[in-house]
Structure 1
Amino acid sequence: MDTMTSPRPRPAERPPRGRRRASHSMEAVLSGAVALLDEAGASALTIRALAARLGTGVGSIYWYVSGKEDLVDRAVDHVLGGVLTAFEERADTADPIDDLRWMAVTLFDAIVDRPWLGGPFMLNVGSPNNSLRIYEKIGQQTLRLDLTPRQRFHAGSGIVSLVVGNAVDLGEEPPPEVLEGATDRDAFLRRYTDMWRTLDPDEFPFMRQIAGEVDGHDDREQFIAALDLTLAGLRLQAGA
């Protein structure tokens, strides 16, 4: 009598080869990247470091980004989205110069808090992202002034450069001796101002006079003073 053999069980179907679906959301990836950037700057942000922070494999990160450069760009865009939202939620006043001042100070404060934003912000205006949209919002205020296109270009780029340059400089780490607690900021600056006070008054009259102003000065106040000088010149140029 013929016997029938039982068919062998079929192996379980395997998932198709390729990248596995990440277990984290893009929001979690970007928040983790921003946290690493805040803690130690761009040098600390790697795909491996981010994966370790999120408790996942590097493959999960690559589901969302193509590499470190893409990750940094997306993190910058993520943070600048908050600045752009603030710009969009605030209604214009009757004075575009006042609106420019508010925008400049808002962007300045954001970059001072996160100095790693400054460089990528200036580089990323070459594509339609939040860096370019913020630049556009600032520039649109100059359209409300009686200026030529070249004057508008100089005004917009000058204000952005003033903001980013000062904010990045202010956000840099202090000298090692200040960072390590061997001295404080005011004592460190006083070394220079004490020396300036001893300079020949005929050769260095300016340095002698400002020495007292440098002692204990407020960096944000110094930036705003420079911004106000720039905007006062723009107001005169526009006949506003």
Structure 2
Amino acid sequence: MARPQTRTGEGRRRASHSMESVLAEAAALLDEAGPSALTFRALAGRLGGGAASIYWYVANKDELLDRTTDYVIGDVLAAIEKLPPAGDPIDELRAMALTLFDAIVERSWLAAYFMRNSDVQGNALRLYEKLGQPTLRLDLTARQRFHAVSAVVGVVVGSAIDLGRELPEGFLDSGVKRDDFLGHYAGAWRELDPEEFPFVHEIVDEFDGHDDVEQFRAALELTLTGLRRQAGA
């Protein structure tokens, strides 16, 4: 990563910490308490300096979030590059999608900033490139490749966001578990008029206690199956 230009004047001394340490501590804060906890004051306190020292590295919180996201995506990219080669391009795409999904589930804040600013997110752009390269071995147009990778990213990121979503405050305060939460709504759905809500009545038993990861994998397979059929593979 290129060293940022000095933000507050060339005469000021460089902070004693490094860009890597700033981003590592920022990621730790985000992991612990989410974006609201990431302030320059809190970050500087963890690094042992003043809040003004963070401005040597980034201009504002948005840039800090983008660079921290890219720092973490660097690890995801490294994991993807270690995946064993597959002869089938769709199998390769699936393996990469699952790796990205696991990373976002582990760090729910990641989804909001992934690919938000490719000017500073070089790792994210490289990851996007990696996801797209297998489609070059399929009989698709440029538009179809673009739509295919966009669909895969959408399924991965959207599913990971849904999996990391907290229960409503009232349920959290009561100590209700996830299965009880689903059961509460499943019970209410079963009371609906089946003529007005035939689909809901059809799937309510599947919804009640469903596995979110299984649901994600099913959505990913539907997407990849459609891609395979489109490519005639």
TM-score using structure 1 length: 0.87
Q: Distance in 2 between matches of 1:128 and 1:214?
A: 37
SS at match of 1:213: helix
Counterpart residue type for residue 233 of structure 1: G
Alpha-carbon deviations, 1:145-177, whole Å to 9, x = none?
A: 111111111101111111111112222222213
- List, as ranges, runs of 4+ consecutive aligned residues in structure 1 with deviation greater than 3 Å: 125-128
- 1:148-167 superposed matches below 5 A: 148-167=141-160
Aligned residue number for residue 85 of structure 2: 92
Q: Counterpart in 2 of 1:26? A: 19
Report the AA paired with residue 62 of structure 1: Y
Helix, strand or coil for the counterpart of 2:209? coil
The residue that corresponds to 2:138 in the other structure is 145
Q: Does 1:182 align with 2:175?
A: yes
Long gaps (5+) in structure 2:
1-9
**Aligned residues, how many?**
225
Residue in 2 that maps onto 1:82: 75
Amino acid at match of 2:90: I
Matched, 1:57 2:50: yes
The question of whether the paired residues in 2 share the 8 Å contact of 1:196 and 1:211 is answered with yes
Distance in 1 of aligned mates of 2:136 and 2:91: 14
In the alignment, what sits opposite 1:107?
Answer: 100
Q: Displacement, 1:21?
A: 2.4
Relative to structure 1, the CA distance from residue 22 to residue 170 in structure 2 (aligned partners, 3 Å threshold; closer, same or farther) is same
Q: 2:175 and 2:119 mapped to 1: Cα distance? A: 43
Moved more, 101-110 or 166-175: 166-175
Rounded to whole Å, the distance in 1 between the matches of 2:47 and 2:174 is: 33
| TM-score w.r.t. length of structure 2 | 0.89
Answer with 73-82 or 119-128: which moved more: 119-128
SS in 2 for 1:18: coil
Deviations 1:116-169 (A, max 9, x none): 111211312456611111111101111111111111111011111111111122
Q: Verify the 8 A CA contact 2:70 2:124 in the aligned structure 1.
A: yes
> Which whole-Å deviations, capped at 9, do the CAs of 1:1-41 have from their partners, x for residues lacking one?
xxxxxxxxxxxxxxxx8222222222221111001111221
- Following the alignment from structure 2 to structure 1, what is the Cα–Cα distance between the partners of residues 121 and 49? 31
Q: Residue 116 of structure 2 corresponds to which residue in structure 1?
A: 123
Q: Considering only CA atoms, is the larger Rg found in Structure 1 or Structure 2?
A: 1
Q: Percent identity?
A: 62
143-152 or 57-66: which moved more? 57-66
Unaligned runs of 5+ in 1: 1-16
